[in-house]
Amino acid sequence: MLADFSVIEGEYLRDVLDQPRALEDTLAGLEELEKLRELATRLRGEEFKTVVLTGMGSSFHGLHPLRLELIDHGFTVVMAETSELIYYMRRLFDPKSLIVAVSQSGQSAEIVRLLEINGSRSPVIAITNTAGSPLATQADATILTQAGKEFSVSCKTYLTALMALHWLGDIFCERDLRHTRDELKQAAPAVESYLAHWKNHVQSLAQLLTGTRSLFLVGRGSSLAAVGTGALIVKEAAHFHAEGMSSAAFRHGPFEMLSKDTFVLVFSGDGRTRDLNRRLLEDVRERQGRAEWVSEDAIFPACSLPTAPRAIQPMLEILPAQMITLALAAQAGREAGRFDFATKVTTTE
C-alpha cells in the first residue's frame, strides 16, 4: 500500500489535475476561422492532392485519430514525424500539399526547420499552445490551444491538441460544428470525473505493477494515439521503459516476451477491432502474462473510462497511462515528470 503520495505531488501532477480546465478554455477559444474555411474548401475542391500531418513526440502520436478520419472521408493523407519529413520527404513541400503541423511550443528544432524549408510552398495549418511562436506567426492559419504553462511532460497540451485536431477534422469534413461543440463539451467533465479518484487509481496501479519489468501498451485505430503517447510519457515521467505499438504488431514478436514480469495494457478501441483486442487480452493472460483492459466496461477501476461520445474517447484513453506514470514514479521514490536531462522544448536536432 502507498502510504505517502508526497514524492509524486509536484508540478507534473498539478498539470495532470488541471486538464479539465485546459479543455474548457480551449473549447471556449475554438472558432471557424475564415482562413480555415478557405483551406478546407480548397481541400474539398481537390486543389490539394495530399494532407501532410506532422509533429514530434506526443504531437505526432496525437495525429492518429485525424489521419483515420480524413482517410475515411476520402482524402489522401501522409503522417510523418517532422524530423523525417524535413530530410527524407521534401517532395511533399509542394503547392499541392496542405500541411497540418502540431507543436505545443511552436519552436522546436524540427518545426523551425520545417518553416525554413517550406517557405511559402505549402499552406501550413498550425496547432500550438504558444501564440508568439514561429509556428503560430508564420502559419497560414493557427488554432491556439489554451493549456497554459506546462511543467514538463505533455499532458494538458496533448489533450487540448486532440480537441483542436478533432475540431479541424470536422471543419475539413464539413460537419455541423454546433454538434461538434456539444460533443466536445463533454470532455472536461469526463476527464474530471476520472481524475477525482486519482489517488485510488495510482495506489491500485502501484500494487498491480509490482514486479513488472516489461510494459507494453497496445491498441488499434485511434487508440494508437494513446499507446504511443502513453509509452512515451511513462519513459519521460517515471524513467521506466515502456513500448507502445499496435495490437497486431505485438503478436509479431513481442508476444514471445510474455511472462509474469510482463504487463500489457490493452486498449479496447472501437467496434471494428474490439473483438480482436479482447482476444489478445485473453491470449496474454492464458500464457502467464499480466494484462488489463482499457475501456468503458473495464473491471479494474483505474482502467475504466467514463462513457462518452466516440469523438472524445482518444482524450480519455490517455488517463490510465498518466496514472501509470505516477504509480511507477511512486514505486521508484522519485518525483514524476521531473526531467534530469531533457528540456520542455527540444531545440537541438
- Locate the domains of the chain by residue range: 31-185, 197-332
Q: Give 258-288 pLDDT, tens digit per residue.
A: 999 999 999 999 999 999 999 999 999 999 8
The CATH superfamily label for domain 197-332 reads Glucose-6-phosphate isomerase like protein; domain 1 (3.40.50.10490)
* DSSP 8-state symbol, 129: S
Question: Could you give the CA distance from residue 309 to residue 322 in angstroms, rounded to a whole number?
Answer: 21
The Cα 39–Cα 42 span in angstroms is 5
Q: How far apart are CA 207 and CA 203, in angstroms?
A: 6
The three three-digit cell numbers of residue 19, written as one number: 486538464
State the sign of the Cα–Cα–Cα–Cα dihedral 290, 295, 299, 300. positive
Strand boundaries in 60-154, DSSP class E? 77-81, 97-102, 124-128, 141-144
pLDDT at position 341, please? 84
Q: What is the pLDDT of residue 157?
A: 98
Distance of CA 310 to the CA centre of its chain: 15
SS3 340: coil
328 contacts 211 by C-beta, under 8 angstroms: no
Q: Within a 10 A sphere around the Cβ of 21, how many other Cβ atoms?
A: 16
Cell of 121: 510552398
Cα–Cα distance list, 78 to 50, 196, 227 (Å): 7, 38, 20
Cβ-based neighbours of 291, under 8 Å, separated by 6 or more: 263, 264, 265, 266, 281, 284, 285
> What pLDDT does 1 receive?
47
In this structure, what DSSP letter does residue 304 have?
B
Residue pLDDT, tens place only, 72-119:
999 999 999 999 999 999 999 999 999 999 999 999 999 999 999 999
- Cα Rg of the chain (Å, integer): 20
- Look up residue 217 and give its three cell numbers: 501498451
Are 31-185 and 197-332 equal in CATH topology?
yes
Fold of 31-185: Rossmann fold (3.40.50)
pLDDT score, position 344: 75
Distance in angstroms (rounded) separating the CA atoms of residues 41 and 50: 14
E-state strands within 151-281 = 214-219, 242-246, 262-267
Alpha-carbon gap, residue 326 to 12, rounded angstroms: 9
- CB 190 within 8 Å of CB 39: no
Tens digits of pLDDT across the chain (349 residues): 444 678 899 999 999 999 999 999 999 999 988 999 999 999 999 999 999 999 999 999 999 999 999 999 999 999 999 999 999 999 999 999 999 999 999 999 999 999 999 999 999 999 999 999 999 999 999 999 999 999 999 999 999 999 999 999 999 999 999 999 999 999 999 999 999 999 999 999 999 999 999 999 999 999 999 999 999 999 999 999 999 999 999 999 999 999 999 999 999 999 999 999 999 999 999 998 899 999 999 999 999 999 999 999 999 999 999 999 999 999 999 998 888 888 877 888 9
The strand pairing partners of 217, in sequence order, are: 244, 265
Contacts of 69 (CB under 8 A, 6+ apart): 169, 173
